[in-house]
Each structure stands twice: as structure tokens, then as C-alpha cells.
């Protein structure tokens, strides 16, 4: 058995002559940068692409130019995933976020390379990758704690037990920061999913490479398909759809364009979406992380139940 295999492989290697090529001369296998919907990596249904370049104009990749249909498909995936993800134990969500960090740590080199390709200096890229990993750990820790910070037991005057807890808002459509493509993306996604929401996020238009690679990290991190959906494309083409889609519960806009912000807010009114604009945030700094980012995308639910009160107020024993 083993003999034949050896024989066969020897034969095939000598046939294609790979052993004669030095690693330096070897033709590199290029990566196809695809989008990430429902745990799959499809190309955009539209068949459109755009070319990602660096500042020198070097062509880095053909990137999917996602369409509104891709967005709608992603919302369907996110909605389907919401029930399961929001019902996961908070502790389990924390472990899964930690797992993303573990895998990102293991693939640091790839992200460094991609950041550098996209004009980030080596030192800065190292910092960005490190902060991104640590940010995931930060939010992993919050998964089972923010409820205790933001929940309350309310001392109502009547004979009822009454408590309020945060619950995820639902499907969040987010436009990631254009700069700091990796840490911006990670800082936007983490509080959304730490809080039990699912999301569709549009990556930085000019620096999309890390986003697609980060989708691969997520895909191998026990994050159920559909919890995070990552599209590449142009915010200018898609933001209005993000705000008007009737099955989206909240919109997060990381950017400074006041006209875009206004139009998002206007269109969001169509289904009373919650809208959050994160303007001028330095995502590399401590400002880029806070449990209040989680709270933004939570609803407070209050539950009442009567307390048996036989024999008047104040049990005497």
C-alpha cells in the first residue's frame, strides 16, 4: 500500500517538475477576495468588481463590488442567524470572541502583510494587528458582564418582582471606518456580536483586503454562519439601502460625511431604526472600546411578575 503511494507521488512530482523550481521562482497563488454571506464565500451576485490599489496605484486585487441584492441576501442570513446567536449563553459568546482573537493571533503575519500592502507602515501595522487582537479579548470579556452593569432590579411600589435586562436589538447594518481598515472593522463588529446581535458590515472601500481575510478568521472561529456578514464595495452605492431595508433594526455609520449621516437618519425612520454615527473615533486608542458601544445596540426589557402577598404587606417571618 505505502509502496504504491510513494511510487505514484514520486512519479507525479517528476512529471510536473516542481522539485526543480526554487521557492523564489515559484509562481505565487493569488487569493480571490470574495464576500462573506451566511458562512459562505460567494462572489457578488452582480458579477461586478473593482480594483483595490495602494497609494502608488499598484493593483492589489480584484474585489467584489457588492450589489444591493448581496446586501439583501446578507440581511436574510443575518436574520436567520439572530435567533440562535442571541440565544447562545453569554459565556459561550465570550468564548467564541476569544476564539476569534486566538485565530487572529495565529494569522498575524498575513494581516501585517496585507496592511503593509495597503500603505500602512510596518510599525503601525504591527500595532494595529496587536490592538485588534486585544480588542477582541476586551469584548470577549464583556459578553457576560454588561448585563450586570446595565441591568437593574426595580423596587416597584406594588407587590411585584420587576427587573430590566439588556437584550440585543437584532440585525445591525454597519458601514466600517474607511481608515484603519482592520482595527476599524474589528472595533465595529465586536460590540455588535458581543451583545448577541448579528450584522452585515461593509468593509473599507479603499482598503478591503483585511476585511476579507478577517471573514476567513471568523469563518474558522466557531462563529455560526450568518452572524457576521462582510461585504466589499462602495458605501456611496449601498448606504441608502442599509438605512431603508425593512428587516434591519439598527444602522451603525462610522464616518464623517454629514450628508450620508443625514440621509441614513432620514431613511432609517421608515422602520424606526436605531442609528448610531461614530464620528472621528481613533479606533487605535482606548476611545475605540467601551461597554457603551455594546449598550448602543441593546434594548432594555422589563419583566413584571406578581409576588404572592397573602395576609397583607410585609411577611412577618
Options 200, 281, 284, 294; binder of another protein; rule CB under 8 A? 281
Which positions from 195 through 224 interact with another protein, judged by CB under 8 A? none
- Quick one: 107 or 274, whose CB is closer to another protein? 274
Options 21, 290, 309, 315; binder of another protein; rule CB under 8 A? 290
- Quick one: 123 or 158, whose CB is closer to another protein? 158
Options 121, 220, 266, 309; binder of another protein; rule CB under 8 A? 266
What's the grid cell of residue 200? 452585515
Task: Check binding of 191 to another protein (CB under 8 A).
Answer: no
Task: Check binding of 187 to another protein (CB under 8 A).
Answer: no
Task: Check binding of 310 to another protein (CB under 8 A).
Answer: no
Task: Check binding of 11 to another protein (CB under 8 A).
Answer: no
Task: Check binding of 149 to another protein (CB under 8 A).
Answer: yes
Task: Check binding of 154 to another protein (CB under 8 A).
Answer: yes
- For 37, list phi and psi in degrees, rounded to 5: -130, 125
- Quick one: 22 or 158, whose CB is closer to another protein? 158
Nearest distance in Å: CB 164, another protein: 5
- Quick one: 152 or 220, whose CB is closer to another protein? 152
- What distance in Å separates the CA atoms of residue 276 and residue 64, rounded to the nearest whole number? 26
- What distance in Å separates the CA atoms of residue 257 and residue 144, rounded to the nearest whole number? 35
- For 306, list phi and psi in degrees, rounded to 5: -65, 150
- Quick one: 6 or 258, whose CB is closer to another protein? 258
Task: Check binding of 21 to another protein (CB under 8 A).
Answer: no
Task: Check binding of 88 to another protein (CB under 8 A).
Answer: no
Rounded to 10°, the helix 181-194/90-106 angle is 160
Expressed in angstroms, the distance from the first to the final Cα of the chain is: 81
Options 184, 233, 255, 288; binder of another protein; rule CB under 8 A? 288
Chain centroid offset of residue 39 CA: 12
Task: Check binding of 95 to another protein (CB under 8 A).
Answer: no
Stretch of residues binding another protein (CB under 8 A), selected from 66-74, 198-206, 225-233, 279-287? 279-287
- Quick one: 108 or 145, whose CB is closer to another protein? 145
| Residue numbers at the binding site for another protein (CB under 8 A) | 149, 152, 154-158, 160, 162, 164, 169-170, 249, 258, 261-266, 268-272, 274, 281, 286-290, 292-293, 299-306
Amino acid at each position: 500500500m505505502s509502496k504504491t503511494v510513494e511510487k505514484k507521488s514520486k512519479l507525479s512530482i517528476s512529471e510536473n517538475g516542481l522539485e526543480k523550481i526554487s521557492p523564489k521562482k515559484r509562481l505565487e497563488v493569488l487569493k480571490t477576495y470574495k464576500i462573506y454571506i451566511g458562512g459562505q464565500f460567494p462572489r457578488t451576485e452582480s458579477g461586478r468588481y473593482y480594483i483595490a490599489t495602494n497609494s502608488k496605484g499598484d493593483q492589489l486585487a480584484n474585489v467584489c463590488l457588492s450589489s444591493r441584492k448581496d446586501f439583501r441576501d446578507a440581511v436574510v442570513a443575518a436574520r436567520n442567524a439572530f435567533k440562535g446567536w442571541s440565544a447562545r449563553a453569554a459565556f459561550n459568546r465570550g468564548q467564541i470572541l476569544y476564539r476569534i482573537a486566538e485565530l487572529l493571533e495565529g494569522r498575524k503575519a498575513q494581516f501585517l502583510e496585507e496592511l503593509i500592502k495597503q500603505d500602512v507602515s510596518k510599525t503601525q501595522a504591527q500595532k494595529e494587528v496587536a490592538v485588534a487582537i486585544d480588542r477582541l479579548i476586551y469584548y470577549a470579556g464583556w459578553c457576560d458582564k454588561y448585563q450586570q452593569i446595565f441591568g437593574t432590579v426595580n423596587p416597584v411600589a406594588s407587590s411585584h418582582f420587576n427587573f430590566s435586562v439588556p437584550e440585543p436589538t437584532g440585525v445591525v447594518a454597519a458601514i466600517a471606518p474607511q481608515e484603519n481598515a482592520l482595527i476599524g472593522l474589528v472595533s465595529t463588529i465586536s460590540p455588535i456580536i458581543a451583545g448577541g446581535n448579528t450584522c452585515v458590515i461593509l468593509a473599507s472601500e479603499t482598503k478591503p483586503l483585511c476585511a476579507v481575510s478577517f471573514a476567513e478568521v471568523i469563518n474558522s472561529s466557531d462563529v455560526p454562519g450568518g452572524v457576521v456578514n462582510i461585504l466589499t464595495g462602495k458605501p456611496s452605492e449601498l448606504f441608502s439601502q442599509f438605512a431603508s431595508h425593512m428587516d434591519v433594526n439598527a444602522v451603525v455609520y462610522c464616518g464623517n460625511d454629514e450628508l450620508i449621516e443625514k440621509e441614513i437618519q432620514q431613511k432609517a425612520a421608515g422602520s424606526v431604526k436605531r442609528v448610531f454615527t461614530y464620528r472621528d473615533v481613533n479606533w487605535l486608542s482606548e476611545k475605540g472600546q467601551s461597554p457603551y458601544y455594546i449598550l448602543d445596540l441593546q434594548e432594555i426589557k422589563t419583566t413584571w411578575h406578581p409576588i404572592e402577598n397573602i395576609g397583607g404587606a410585609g411577611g412577618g417571618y
